[in-house]
Amino acid sequence: MSKYNVVDRAKFTFYQIPKLLIHGEKYRSKITHSEIIAYAILMDRLNVSIKNNWIDDNGDIYFVYSNEELMEILNLSKTTTIKVKKKLKEIGLFDEERTGRANRLYLLEPQANNVEEAKYIMGLDKKKIEDKTIYTQEDKNKLVNNLKSKNDLNHEVQKLDFVVEKLPNQGSSIKSSPAKSNNWTSEVQKLDPSNNNLITNKDNKDNKDISAIDLTDYRLISHSFKQKGKNDSLENKLIDEYILEQQYYDLYGEELINKMKVYSFNNFQTFVMFTNKLIHAHRSVEKEKGLNLAIYDDAKFSEYTRRQLTRTFNRCIQAERFQKANNIASYLFISFKNVFIDLSEAYKNEINNI
């Protein structure tokens, strides 16, 4: 059996905050977090006042603190402490009484606007809250329908006038006929001249291998751009769950993943496609170079690489929006891959210099 220990007991010592300050109509739009914390600290100090017998003739409990002492108690600057006192007084939570010597400070009780608000505050503990980590049957049905829609999209791709298997090598263009299609490398070079020296024949081979997948992905992206502005809370929830499940924030940083989320326009399948292109490019370079190219928070070159990946993604999206990319799916893959190639070269240079 464990004995009570002072270190353990310290964990169970709390300040209390009246719920009216958070939920009451009279206070929530007027009070700041600093003022709420100050109120909670002063309310806790009521016990000290009682022990000191700081009670006036009306039985009201008061404080005797100078501004300097309040600054120390609240851990605020003098200017902020004065502002907090003034704001609490304005909204009826604080009062000050002159005595000819040190002022007496009073904390006033928060008041509900009416009986209905009081009942609402009292019932907050009993409020039933939906567990959004569990999928309802309706959620599951919607997810099934979304997956069915993706299958329908694949069928539509197969009905196109041209056949995927007959597309020219090195990547075909949906926006131009096969006869006029240029080598994919030249298309990327036109869009991003800074990456010219990084695009290799291996990139063209990769593009050839995934051309059929890219065609479907291109249609998926185009469809999502047409749907922008829609508000699908289920899709958004699925995306958030997927991000946490796959640990994408830890692996690639919040900025890039949130950009992908924005430009998926709440389309779960589009978001998955974006991340798949990123991961495919990442693993492809790791396999080719025989390196582990981690870019988590504390990894070497992570901040720079994450920034480059975000810029690359933005550039690809803008190219699609302004119709400068003939095949956005391939453009994403190759552009991401070039960033990881740069990272691999940086690793090799560091190893060589050791």
Q: What is the pLDDT of residue 277?
A: 93
What residues contact residue 121 under an 8 Å CB cut-off, 6+ apart? 19, 20, 23, 24, 112
Burial of residue 316 (CB within 10 Å: 0-12, 13-18, 19+) is buried
Question: CA 346, 347, 348 angle in degrees (round to 5)?
Answer: 90
Where do we find the tokens 């700041």? 32
pLDDT tens, per residue, the chain with 354 residues = 678 888 888 888 888 899 999 899 889 888 888 899 999 999 998 989 999 999 999 999 999 888 888 889 888 888 889 999 999 999 999 999 988 888 899 999 999 999 998 988 888 877 776 666 666 677 666 666 665 555 554 444 444 333 333 333 333 333 333 333 333 333 333 333 334 333 344 444 444 444 544 555 555 555 555 555 455 677 888 898 889 888 899 889 999 999 999 888 888 888 998 999 999 999 999 999 888 888 877 777 889 999 999 999 999 888 887 777 677 888 899 999 999 999 998 888 877 765
Q: What is the pLDDT of residue 107?
A: 94
Distance CA 258, CA 264 (A): 10
Distance CA 294, CA 225 (A): 31
SS3 assignment, position 12: coil
Does this model's pTM top 0.85? My answer is: no
The structural domains of the chain, ordered by start, are 12-126 (1.10.10.10), 137-353 (no CATH)
How confident is the model at residue 230, as a pLDDT? 52
> What values do phi and psi take at 291, rounded to 5?
-125, 155
For 325, residues 6+ apart whose C-beta sits below 8 A from its C-beta are 187, 191, 316, 319, 331
Distance, CA of 234 to CA of 268 (rounded, Å): 9
Distance separating alpha carbons of residues 109 and 91, to the nearest angstrom? 11
Q: How far apart are CA 27 and CA 22, in angstroms?
A: 7
Q: What is the pLDDT of residue 265?
A: 85
- The pLDDT, as a whole number, for residue 324 is 75
- Residue 63 backbone dihedrals phi, psi, to 5 degrees: -115, 155
Q: What is the pLDDT of residue 313?
A: 93
Backbone angles phi, psi at 106, to 5 degrees: -120, 140
Residue 105, H or E segment? strand 104-107
